Amino acid sequence: MVFQDTIKLAPQQKGATDITEIVNGLVRDAEIRNGICQLFVHNNHSSLLIADTADENTKNKTQEYLAMLAPSNDSTNRQIDASMNAIPSRMRTALMQTSISFPIRNSRPALGAWQGIYLWEQAGQPDERNLTITIVGE
Amino acid sequence: MLHQQKLRFSTRGRGTYNITKQITEVIAGSGIRDGMCHIFIQHTSASLILCENADRSVREDLDAYMARLVRDGDSLYQHNDEGPDDMAAHIRTVLTQSTLSIPVHKGKCDLGMWQGIFLWEHRTNSHKRNLSVTVMGE
């Protein structure tokens, strides 16, 4: 069986937004008991991440670390057009994932106790984001 | 057909652990001949990689490179409840993979000759690590 849906996520602030509950809802609707779920985000300025849910600091500090790796004011960035940080946000996305997948067990994401699903917005002026969910299983 | 099972590994501190044999055994036990194997690690301070399996120094160098890229105890971090390797382990996980998917062909992992599947422990202490393995196909 295959379930597929594309939803729109409202514009989010730069940084990590927990979308675990939204994904849990979609997985419930799919009525697939066991299988694999893939999430895919349709743009170059945000990424998907499975990260620690326990401490907000882990996400804030990861964002600061990525900003250090791909700073907005780097002189190697030639493209300064629509958004001042267009290139750094793309670099950060390239260092992370535009799609993630995880097992589905008993109609729920089989995540670890401290794992959550996040949309990681890298752009300074975020837009609405399209997210496609595909579940294959039985 | 779908086969799903858990694997549990004991790690002995930071470094890479070859788990190719255990994954191969799961595929063999599934009875699935052609399809896909999906491996998911249920933690945010350990990850999965495909890596060269012949020369151990490749993985030692990878670990040394990662230690330079993501420094333990960096003054940037706030999240250090469990020691200087705590936040570094979360960032190392984000920069690598929580999931691997590998084709299954003729009942085996269709890896390249020099590819191995490794669990990468990012914490300096020993840990128990849970993996969920899903094999789909026919």
Q: What is the ipTM of this complex?
A: 0.80
In chain A, domain spans:
2-137
Options 2.60.40.10, 3.40.830.10, 2.60.120.460, 3.40.718.10; which CATH number does A2-137 get?
2.60.120.460
Domain that holds residue B125: 2-137
For A49, the closest chain B residue by CA position comes to: B94
Per-residue pLDDT of chain A (138 residues; tens, 9 = 90+): 999 999 999 988 888 889 999 999 999 999 999 999 999 898 878 889 898 887 777 777 777 777 777 666 656 555 555 555 566 777 777 777 889 999 999 999 999 999 999 998 887 778 899 999 999 999
Residues of A with CB under 8 A from a CB of B: 34-36, 49-52, 55, 57-58, 60-62, 64-65, 68, 95-96, 100-103, 105, 110-115, 136-138
DSSP state of A97: B
Dihedral sign from CA coordinates of A67, A9, A84, A89: positive
Number of domains in chain B: 1
Q: What is the CATH number of the domain that holds B59?
A: 2.60.120.460
The reported pTM is: 0.85
CB A133 within 8 A of CB A42: no
- 3-state DSSP helix/strand/coil % of chain A, to nearest 5: 25, 40, 35
Dihedral sign from CA coordinates of A41, A75, B90, B24: positive
DSSP state of A81: S
Please report the pLDDT score of residue A57 as a whole number: 74
Q: Which residues of chain A neighbour B43 with C-beta distances below 8 Å?
A: 112, 114-115
